[in-house]
Chains A and B, each alone.
Chain A
């Protein structure tokens, strides 16, 4: 208790000191798991930070710390950021969940925003994106465009987020192409360009002519380009430099609107702890330009699907859907609950292989 009050008063002190320098300047901090130049996950969060600066100009100051390991160092990095007078801190990786909660308890006046987690407090919000909505569109294009009927999927770790993406993509590929098969390779890494390139090559060598990736580097794009006759989708960032082929579209993590919104809320004093899980409708999940390599009719269908999802008319997980073992999951017309989606640890019917554990 003593420690808490001491730290809290230190924070209050620093806040006072901070505002003495620049009246009303709100300080927003960002903790990144990778380097800002990773070209994927962290890069997009940093784009969001820059957007906050561009939008709010002199009214805001941003700081960030990159390559913060998940573990003991994270808690210190977050604490120091709070001590430095940050008013709102975005912690942008799942592994920062417990450290964020610990620090938040010591700094009740600082607002915290944790990406992709599930623990909240009065001063801790969580936010994440419904990437599976983008996966549905990718699945649709993949199902239409594959000639070998084999779609390769480079997965990172067997967590609900990734499994959701696989299920969503498969479901929509299967809808338009009943013969489609998915080969899934678990790379057990978010970022290892050489291994991702190898994984892409392995899938291509095994007959896949569409590669979906849930890892962050552009190495699979390059491997597909080299192989020729293979299409890919950008992940996390647009990866437009690989278009029009192999990259035919992409899922873009667009955190900017959310970050601007939340920092503004701190300025206005309207910030509240929230649980945000946004998708295409708010622009948090962006669909990159569908390239000229995609036939016009497929492109039109994909865009229609995107619009339907954005308008809330269509949910990518709408029954009837069975689990892999044939047991029913969603009945006709039923849509998946967020709880089911957040804990998803099973494949849907038709996928082969097991979810590793």
Chain B
């Protein structure tokens, strides 16, 4: 065993890439949950984004258009969840599972002609002198645009939730939809917008998988990433900054375990792959034991304005 062969600079760089798809999906889902909606269909939306992004990038030769199309497609798909749960008041857990089924099925039908193709991928940004800096240049400033966009998105979401009126309304709707309704806020409309945003983010995350991280389209390629994004939101106790930490941690555990193996260390793989989930449970217990509930109070509850 020679752990010195693990290069921490490359390790961090690698974690940033592997964490980006789950970070994007998780930050979107966090906004949805802060609005009081539990959408378990992240996996289905991600894989739809993966296939649509890939198809559009191939046909246009432009990965940026691929990302845009992926966001749009997944957001539109998520609206089916929105219509069912918000307008027709269906159960969110069951509808979310249905969304996953639909997304997985749809994506593989759309994707059939694109199997085995190679798409144009995002270039690494050249950030001038920053990229040339020793250590941090390679570690932090040599990635593609989406890595930075995902981090920027975290900051934007944090700021909007904390400092803006729309953020305040969104949180109010998530904490107590009846009170928010009584104050005259359009609960359903706000939740629909949150669901749309969550769908778009999940689509971006999926497209990052198929256009940058893998990059190719194969059926079932998200392989559970959407479920990990759900876990990250909980781990983060619904805080934007912690979502970023959670995504890097969850992504990091996998990358680290593979790196340890590559360096020749004997790794208890099963224990390590279960560890993020055990940590999430501990975090949940910790925040609920402190009396703070963490979860938005209206999470998963249907809202009906009985006039």
A and B touch in the complex (CB under 8 A): yes
Listed in ascending order, the chain A residues whose CB lies under 8 Å from chain B are 35, 37-39, 152, 183-189, 191-195, 197-199, 201-203, 205-208, 217-219, 222, 241, 352-354, 356
Of B10, B213, B216, B266, which one neighbours A353 at CB under 8 angstroms? Answer: B266
Closest to A353 in B: B264
The complex places the Cα of A343 from the Cα of B108 at a distance, in Å, of: 37
Asked if A35 and B266 make an inter-chain contact with CB atoms under 8 angstroms apart, the answer reads: no
Whether B7 is near chain A, meaning CB under 8 Å from some CB there, is: yes
Closest to B209 in A: A194
Of A187, A199, A206, A218, which one neighbours B263 at CB under 8 angstroms? Answer: A206
Of B6, B18, B118, which one neighbours A194 at CB under 8 angstroms? Answer: B18
The complex places the Cα of A194 from the Cα of B220 at a distance, in Å, of: 11
Stretch from B162-170, B232-240, B254-262 contacting the other chain = B254-262
Q: Please name all residues of chain B whose beta carbon is closer than 8 Å to the beta carbon of A205 when the two chains form the complex.
A: 6-7, 10-11, 14, 259, 262
- Given contact pairs A39-B116, A356-B269, A203 touches B262 in the complex (Cβ within 8 A): yes
Whether B98 is near chain A, meaning CB under 8 Å from some CB there, is: no
Q: Please name all residues of chain B whose beta carbon is closer than 8 Å to the beta carbon of A198 when the two chains form the complex.
A: 14, 18, 254-255, 258
Asked if B218 and A354 make an inter-chain contact with CB atoms under 8 angstroms apart, the answer reads: no
Known contacts A189-B223, A191-B218, A217-B214; 20 additional CB pairs below 8 A are A37-B111, A39-B218, A183-B261, A185-B261, A188-B269, A191-B220, A193-B214, A194-B209, A194-B223, A199-B262, A201-B14, A202-B14, A202-B261, A202-B262, A206-B6, A207-B5, A218-B216, A222-B214, A241-B118, A356-B266
Whether B32 is near chain A, meaning CB under 8 Å from some CB there, is: no
Asked if A37 and B262 make an inter-chain contact with CB atoms under 8 angstroms apart, the answer reads: no
Q: Please name all residues of chain B whose beta carbon is closer than 8 Å to the beta carbon of A352 when the two chains form the complex.
A: 264
Can you offer 16 A-B residue contacts whose CB atoms are under 8 A?
A: A39-B116, A183-B263, A186-B261, A189-B223, A193-B216, A194-B213, A195-B223, A197-B214, A198-B254, A199-B262, A201-B17, A205-B7, A206-B259, A217-B216, A218-B216, A219-B214
The complex places the Cα of A354 from the Cα of B259 at a distance, in Å, of: 16
Asked if A354 and B266 make an inter-chain contact with CB atoms under 8 angstroms apart, the answer reads: yes
Asked if B262 and A217 make an inter-chain contact with CB atoms under 8 angstroms apart, the answer reads: no
CB distance from B65 to the nearest CB of A (A): 21
Q: Please name all residues of chain A whose beta carbon is closer than 8 Å to the beta carbon of B116 when the two chains form the complex.
A: 37, 39, 218, 241
Whether B97 is near chain A, meaning CB under 8 Å from some CB there, is: no
Closest A-B pairs by Cβ, 7 of them: A202-B258, A205-B10, A37-B115, A206-B262, A193-B214, A202-B259, A35-B219
The complex places the Cα of A183 from the Cα of B260 at a distance, in Å, of: 10
Q: Please name all residues of chain A whose beta carbon is closer than 8 Å to the beta carbon of B293 when the two chains form the complex.
A: none
Whether B186 is near chain A, meaning CB under 8 Å from some CB there, is: no
CB distance from A152 to the nearest CB of B (A): 7
Asked if B115 and A39 make an inter-chain contact with CB atoms under 8 angstroms apart, the answer reads: yes
Q: Please name all residues of chain A whose beta carbon is closer than 8 Å to the beta carbon of B304 when the two chains form the complex.
A: none
- Given contact pairs A37-B115, A198-B18, A206-B5, A183 touches B254 in the complex (Cβ within 8 A): no
Instruction: Specify which of B214, B215, B222, B264 lies most central, judged by the most chain A CB atoms within 10 Å of its CB.
Output: B214
Instruction: Mark each residue of chain B from 242 to 281: 1 if its CB lies under 8 Å from any CB of chain A, else 0.
Output: 0000000000001100110111101001000000000000
- Given contact pairs A207-B5, A241-B118, A152 touches B262 in the complex (Cβ within 8 A): yes
Instruction: Mark each residue of chain B from 70 to 112: 1 if its CB lies under 8 Å from any CB of chain A, else 0.
Output: 0000000000000000000000000000000000000010011
Q: Please name all residues of chain B whose beta carbon is closer than 8 Å to the beta carbon of A222 when the two chains form the complex.
A: 118, 214-216
Asked if A193 and B218 make an inter-chain contact with CB atoms under 8 angstroms apart, the answer reads: yes
Asked if B259 and A186 make an inter-chain contact with CB atoms under 8 angstroms apart, the answer reads: no
The complex places the Cα of A189 from the Cα of B269 at a distance, in Å, of: 12
Q: Please name all residues of chain B whose beta carbon is closer than 8 Å to the beta carbon of A208 when the two chains form the complex.
A: 262
Whether B58 is near chain A, meaning CB under 8 Å from some CB there, is: no
Q: Please name all residues of chain B whose beta carbon is closer than 8 Å to the beta carbon of A354 when the two chains form the complex.
A: 266
Whether B146 is near chain A, meaning CB under 8 Å from some CB there, is: no
The complex places the Cα of A186 from the Cα of B225 at a distance, in Å, of: 19
The complex places the Cα of A208 from the Cα of B264 at a distance, in Å, of: 12
Q: Please name all residues of chain A whose beta carbon is closer than 8 Å to the beta carbon of B213 when the two chains form the complex.
A: 194, 197
Instruction: Specify which of A38, A194, A198, A354 lies most central, judged by the most chain B CB atoms within 10 Å of its CB.
Output: A194
Whether B221 is near chain A, meaning CB under 8 Å from some CB there, is: yes
Q: Please name all residues of chain A whose beta carbon is closer than 8 Å to the beta carbon of B223 when the two chains form the complex.
A: 189, 191-195
Of B5, B17, B218, B259, which one neighbours A37 at CB under 8 angstroms? Answer: B218
List CB contacts (< 8 Å) of B165-179 with chain A. none
The complex places the Cα of A208 from the Cα of B263 at a distance, in Å, of: 10
CB distance from A204 to the nearest CB of B (A): 8
Q: Please name all residues of chain A whose beta carbon is closer than 8 Å to the beta carbon of B222 when the two chains form the complex.
A: 194
- Given contact pairs A186-B261, A222-B214, A193 touches B7 in the complex (Cβ within 8 A): no
The complex places the Cα of A30 from the Cα of B5 at a distance, in Å, of: 46
The complex places the Cα of A195 from the Cα of B254 at a distance, in Å, of: 8
Instruction: Mark each residue of chain B from 5 to 35: 1 if its CB lies under 8 Å from any CB of chain A, else 0.
Output: 1110011001001100100000000000000
